[in-house]
Amino acid sequence: MVDLFAPLSLAFTAWLAAIVARRALGIPVGWPRTIVVGMLVTSAIGSAVTSFSQFAGIVADDGITVSMPATVLVLSLVVAWVFVLGLTALVMMEVVVPTGTLPSPLDLLRGWKARRRRTRRYAQIMKIVVRHGLGGYLRGRRRTDPYQGAGKIARSLRAALNEGGVTFVKLGQMLSTRRDLIPEQFADQLATLQTSAEPEPWPEIEKAIRTALGKPLEQVFAVVDPEPMAAASVAQVHAATLLDGREVVLKVQRPRARAQVAADMEIILRLSRRLERSTPWGRSLRVFTLAKGFAAALDEELDYTVELDNLRSVAATLDSGIAVPEVVEEHSGGTLLVMTRLRGTPVGAAGAVLAGLSVERRKEMAHRLLSEVLRQQVRTGIFHADLHPGNVLVDADGGLGLLDFGSVGRLDDSTRTALGMLLLAVDRDDAIAATDALIELLDRPPGLAERELERQVGQLMVRYRTGYGRGGSTGMFGSLLKVVHDYGFAVPPQIAGAFRALAALDGTLALISPDLDMFGAAREQGRALMREAVEPGAVRANLEERLAGYLPVLQRLPRRINHLVEDLEHGRLSVNVRPLADDGDRRFLTGLVQQLVIAVLAGSATLGSIILIVADVGPMITPNIRLLPVIGGVLLLIGFLLALRSLALVFHPRSG
């Protein structure tokens, strides 16, 4: 029992010291380090008390030589100083390695398998990066501009992302649409990335379908073609026929896709945080913010219930005869979509079909598709954001259909109005109105040079109106994004999504009708949309809706005006200003005052202690120590403790 009691007593004392340490410093210091420091302090107290007792003359060969009160006072001061030195060690550890920056021992035990797997994948990715000559940019050691020799670097980046797998391919595809952030050579190279992959064996896909359905395939489908219509790295598409005879397609998520994407996304987020912290180009591109947005978008793309909602939302807004598939909801879920089959050929592979149509018919199809996208962006606010040539179907009669609703944009009312005003300003060649619409759309950055921005926007409009600009209207919007980024605008994801949708549509419209005047078509559609928005009936309906919302306020307005006039007449009108009404402001000011008071008290106690410690007068309480230096030691202890608390609060990450 004696052998067991000693370590238990030590552990309890260490735990008690840890509690006192956390309370004394006023911050939630990690328990593991406080307990370790507590054990060291507890172990050191005995040696410190013995050594100081012999030095002060408290203990001699014939026993204790001073009175008990003096002994308790002096030894208590020694114990307190040992404890404060332990607190000093804790504060230093908090300054160097704050609590929470390292995983806890429990987390280390729980996640060692995941860390080992992540480490292997991380090493594999780093080998790919180094093999393609990009290692210096990840380490931040390249002092030259990464955009020098951009063509070669872009090709290396495309090859590295393609070798990295599905998540990195999709990351490259996302970056290829951000021409406002990356040079054109990079965007062009990344746009060639494809997510096609070797088909998953049919037994694996059949098992995935059966798991998603919760029943055998024979109870739902009369026929399922085991040969995929398309095979991407995340999903496969198979043709099938329901028991009621309807022809459908099955979009099936590959069994291991989500686990692979989750593991890779964790690595991408870690890498992006490191790049933004250690490289100038990473900070300028805000790569960690981009990575977080990409992670959220990819997570939605892997949840097919989100795509189901997107499809229904877009279908409800279509108004030009463009077809979309219908979802068989009773058989669809998070990893499986069952949709009616649309007849047609993707635009990217429909050269023969388009060649059989007249030039006028193809131009009408392109106009209709562009008009529908602009109408959705300006009027309804819900639009398909990824209309590349593989997601648009055409048939022999010139009909159009849309596929793949994993990426859908949504714009609120004020954003739609500002976007419409931008289109109207482009139609009128009004650079001032276009600049005002941009500021309304994106919010004014600090220190904006408006006149310079007006000139840039005006030059851009002239360039594309005269046909000098490449890419038509969508090319103009891509160039416009670059301009606003150069002037410090923060482009919200929904606005960037709207411009990306037009950029993705560019190539599709060019394949449907190569001689289409994109800029002229966009101006014409923008003019028609704004004419529709400002016609008397639409304005009246909009005013009636707003008036209905303000009706309760208007009903109470006469009574409030009457009260205001009466108070003004009788001299009762007053204005109450509460500068610290916000809780956050009060907490900030209170914390600031507390830290100032602590610092002042610490300084005062330290100065007073120095005066007392150097005093050479006063009664002796031990053969070698006077009373005044002991009191000075107590004051110094208090001042030191207050200084430690102040320092801990300053360096603690949540203190502000």
What is the DSSP code (8-state) at residue 231?
E
Rounded to whole angstroms, how far apart are CA atoms 22 and 34? 8
* Per-residue model confidence (pLDDT) at position 274: 81
* Per-residue model confidence (pLDDT) at position 268: 83
Rounded to whole angstroms, how far apart are CA atoms 263 and 114? 9
* Per-residue model confidence (pLDDT) at position 652: 63
Per-residue pLDDT tens digits for 113-166:
667 777 788 788 888 888 888 776 665 555 445 455 567 788 888 888 887 777
As a whole number, mean pLDDT of residues 622-631 equals 77
Highest mean pLDDT among 24-33, 203-212, 508-517: 203-212
Cα distances from 522 to residues 40, 314, 582, in angstroms, run 74, 21, 47
Specify the amino acid at residue 177: T
Is residue 50 very low, low, confident or very high in pLDDT (cuts 50, 70, 90)? confident
Is residue 512 pLDDT above 70, yes or no? yes
Is residue 222 very low, low, confident or very high in pLDDT (cuts 50, 70, 90)? very high
Asked whether 383 and 370 are in contact (CB, 8 A), the reply is no
**Please, which residues have CB within 8 angstroms of residue 454's CB and are 6 or more apart in sequence?**
431, 432, 435
Helices (H) and strands (E) in the chain, counts: 25, 12
Specify the amino acid at residue 71: T
2: its two tokens? 């004696």
Asked whether 74 and 4 are in contact (CB, 8 A), the reply is no
193: its two tokens? 């990335």
What is the DSSP code (8-state) at residue 626?
B
The rounded mean pLDDT for the chain is 77
Closest CA to 91 of 653, 603, 652, 605: 652
Is residue 450 pLDDT above 80, yes or no? yes
Rounded to whole angstroms, how far apart are CA atoms 515 and 368? 15
Asked whether 256 and 204 are in contact (CB, 8 A), the reply is no
Which residues pair with residue 46 across a beta bridge? none
Helix axes 2-25, 31-56, angle to 10 degrees: 100
Q: Judge residue 410's burial from the number of C-beta atoms within 10 Å of its C-beta, 0-12 exposed, 13-18 middle, 19 or more buried.
A: middle
Is residue 2 very low, low, confident or very high in pLDDT (cuts 50, 70, 90)? very low
**CA atoms in the 13 A half-sphere facing the CB of 570:** 6
Rounded to whole angstroms, how far apart are CA atoms 13 and 20? 11
Instruction: Look at residue 332 and give its three-state secondary structure.
Output: coil
Is the pTM for the entire model greater than 0.95? no
Asked whether 391 and 401 are in contact (CB, 8 A), the reply is no
Asked whether 409 and 385 are in contact (CB, 8 A), the reply is yes
Edge to edge, what strands does the sheet with 400-402 contain?
345-346, 392-394, 400-402
Closest CA to 213 of 245, 244, 234, 242: 242
Residue 4 CB neighbours (<10 A): 8
Rounded to whole angstroms, how far apart are CA atoms 350 and 333? 31
* The residue to which tokens 């919302």 are assigned: 549
Percent of the chain clearing pLDDT 90 (strictly above):
5
Asked whether 525 and 429 are in contact (CB, 8 A), the reply is no
Contacts 24+ apart (CB under 8 A), 597-604: 598/642, 598/645, 598/646, 598/649, 599/642, 599/643, 599/646, 601/639, 601/642, 602/639, 602/640, 602/642, 602/643, 602/646, 603/639, 604/639
Is residue 488 very low, low, confident or very high in pLDDT (cuts 50, 70, 90)? confident
As a whole number, mean pLDDT of residues 629-647 equals 81
* Per-residue model confidence (pLDDT) at position 55: 60
Asked whether 193 and 172 are in contact (CB, 8 A), the reply is yes
| CA distance from start to end of the chain | 49
Is residue 352 pLDDT above 80, yes or no? yes
Which residues pair with residue 408 across a beta bridge? 384
Highest mean pLDDT among 57-66, 131-140, 380-389: 380-389
* Per-residue model confidence (pLDDT) at position 252: 92
SS in 3 state form for 242-309? ECCCCEEEEEEECCCHHHHHHHHHHHHHHHHHHHHHHCHHHHHHCHHHHHHHHHHHHHHHCCHHHHHH
Asked whether 387 and 402 are in contact (CB, 8 A), the reply is yes
194: its two tokens? 């494809």
Asked whether 66 and 57 are in contact (CB, 8 A), the reply is yes
Q: Judge residue 609's burial from the number of C-beta atoms within 10 Å of its C-beta, 0-12 exposed, 13-18 middle, 19 or more buried.
A: buried
Is residue 241 pLDDT above 90, yes or no? yes
Highest mean pLDDT among 70-74, 125-129, 275-279, 310-314: 310-314
As a whole number, mean pLDDT of residues 274-289 equals 76
Is residue 221 very low, low, confident or very high in pLDDT (cuts 50, 70, 90)? very high
| Residue 620, phi-psi category: left (phi > 0), alpha (psi -120 to 50), beta (remainder) | beta
Rounded to whole angstroms, how far apart are CA atoms 122 and 136? 16
588: its two tokens? 């900030």
Per-residue pLDDT tens digits for 177-191:
666 667 777 777 777
What single string gives the DSSP state of each residue in 461-514?
HHHHHTT-STTHHHHHHHHHHHHHHHTT----HHHHHHHHHHHHHHHHHHHH-T
Is residue 413 pLDDT above 90, yes or no? no
* Per-residue model confidence (pLDDT) at position 238: 92
Cα distances from 502 to residues 173, 331, 417, in angstroms, run 15, 33, 17
Is residue 495 very low, low, confident or very high in pLDDT (cuts 50, 70, 90)? confident
Residue 31 CB neighbours (<10 A): 15
607: its two tokens? 């100065």
